[in-house]
Amino acid sequence: MTSSPRVVVLAGGVGGSKFTLGVREALARRGAPQATVVVNTGDDLWLSGVRLQPDVDSILYALAGVNDTERGWGRAGDTERVNHELQQWDAGWPWFTLGDLDLGTHLARTGWLREGLTPTQVAERLSRRWPLGVRLLPMTDAEVDTRVLVEGGDVMHFQEWWTRHRARLVPRAFENAGMDAARPAPGVIEAIAEADVVLVAPSNPVVSIGPILAVPGVREALAATSARVVGVSPIIGGAVVRGMADVCLAAIGVETSASAVARHYGARRAGGLLDAWLLAEEDTGLAPDVAALGMTAAVAPLWMRDVAASAHIADAALAAAIR
Ligand code: FO1
């Protein structure tokens, strides 16, 4: 493989944004072209008349260096004056905070959507403000917001289940109405076809990576590309790094282990997704199980403590693409 690879990253959430920072750093050091990041839009929602794209914004803000690293979402140093006012009106969701600076993004996005721009064009406009060093593409321009069917029969928006109920209501299924008719956003299929390496970020396999893979045409493009497809485990030592991915995995019958997630994605040579899987050092013992699935098993430290650590993980994932 070239020392200057064309890279596509499939990403969502905090894991996706931290990993993307590392990929940007690792590629810049090589003088390689900017990566294309295909972002999950299943978390998107309409609230108080504005369109939110939490995963697009998490990655945008992290790349711009304006994200709230403590909370893991929203803008650093944000205030909540408008949110307070919305609550006085009983508008929006009392358990979901819209920061003032963050609202500026949602207003800009919604205005452009109302003027007729597509979500892809909006992402491109939002990306012009800061030198992001990557190309951000939503997975699709269609609205395919994730809904969760919980035990007892209720169906709710993913954000209600995640943020209000903290994933404590037992999920039975995750659904994306309209997905059958959705198309990949312009550029997604081309980027995958032209890539040397596709990296699957250590994001939630079910509600972040799952929706990207469910967009009709994406799996086919990943099967057909000459790129090597390398995944990074979101599970370290049998536990999720952050968030509630274990609950999501249980809902689809997948154990919370690095090898079970590798099996869930499957080996490309057996009709699945991956050529290689990067395991945490803590999970070195699972490497033979992963290799037995028909993919390369590689091992690296996977804690994304800072950008340097994330870049080291990106380097290890790129190295696994060559093996
Ligand atoms: N997460 C929370 O836990 N509480 C919130 O009030 C909240 C508000 C919010 C507003 C905009 C946004 O882009 C994200 C927000 N998040 C909030 C994060 C979000 O719910 C999820 O963590 C992601 O969608 C999962 O990746």
Per-residue pLDDT of the chain in tens (323 residues, 90 and over written 9): 677 999 999 999 999 999 999 999 999 999 999 999 999 999 999 999 999 999 999 999 999 999 999 999 999 999 999 999 999 999 999 999 999 999 999 999 999 999 999 999 999 999 999 999 999 999 999 999 999 999 999 999 999 999 999 999 999 999 999 999 999 999 999 999 999 999 999 999 999 999 999 999 999 999 999 999 999 999 999 999 877 899 999 999 999 999 999 999 999 999 999 999 999 999 999 999 999 999 999 999 999 999 999 999 999 999 999 87
- CA separation for the pair 105, 143 (Å, rounded): 18
pLDDT of residue 89: 97
Nearest to 222 by CA among 27, 10, 44, 2: 10
Is residue 28 assigned to a domain? yes
Is residue 200 assigned to a domain? yes
Candidate of 58, 73, 93, 244 to mutate for ligand 1, largest count of ligand atoms within 8 Å of Cβ? 73
- CA separation for the pair 139, 171 (Å, rounded): 24
> Domain with 291 in it: what CATH number?
3.40.50.10680
Is residue 247 assigned to a domain? yes
Q: For residue 163, what are the contacts with CB-CB under 8 A and spacing of at least 6?
A: 93, 95, 96
Ligand 1, atom 13: closest residue by C-alpha: 54
Is residue 148 assigned to a domain? no
- CA separation for the pair 103, 117 (Å, rounded): 19
Is residue 164 assigned to a domain? no
pLDDT of residue 82: 97
- What's the gap in Å between 73 CA and the centre of ligand 1? 6
Beta-bridged to residue 146, according to DSSP, are 176
User: Tokens 């929203």 correspond to what residue?
Assistant: 74
pTM: 0.97
- What's the gap in Å between 262 CA and the centre of ligand 1? 27
Give, rounded to a whole angstrom, the gap between the first and last alpha carbons of the chain.
10
What amino acid is encoded at 94 in this protein? P
Ligand 1, atom 16: closest residue by C-alpha: 73
- CA separation for the pair 38, 11 (Å, rounded): 6
- What's the gap in Å between 190 CA and the centre of ligand 1? 31
Q: Which helix (H) or strand (E) holds 212?
A: helix 209-214
The beta strand positions in 127-255, using DSSP E, are: 134-138, 146-150, 155-157, 171-176, 197-200, 228-232, 235-236, 239-240
Is residue 302 assigned to a domain? yes
Ligand 1, atom 19: closest residue by C-alpha: 54
Nearest to 43 by CA among 163, 183, 136, 219: 163
pLDDT of residue 1: 63
Nearest to 98 by CA among 48, 156, 39: 48
- Cα angle 108, 15, 127 (rounded to 5 degrees) comes to 30
Ligand 1 neighbours, Cβ below 6 Å, are 13, 43, 52, 54-55, 57, 73-74, 96-98, 102, 159, 162-163
- Closest ligand 1 atom, CA of 208? 26
Nearest to 265 by CA among 301, 315, 229: 229
Candidate of 163, 164, 165, 247 to mutate for ligand 1, largest count of ligand atoms within 8 Å of Cβ? 163
Ligand 1, atom 9: closest residue by C-alpha: 97
Is residue 306 assigned to a domain? yes
- What's the gap in Å between 160 CA and the centre of ligand 1? 10
Is residue 48 assigned to a domain? no
- Closest ligand 1 atom, CA of 159? 20
Q: Which domain holds residue 284?
A: 7-43+132-143+178-322
- What's the gap in Å between 162 CA and the centre of ligand 1? 8
- CA separation for the pair 146, 321 (Å, rounded): 31
Ligand 1, atom 15: closest residue by C-alpha: 73
- Domain total of the chain: 1
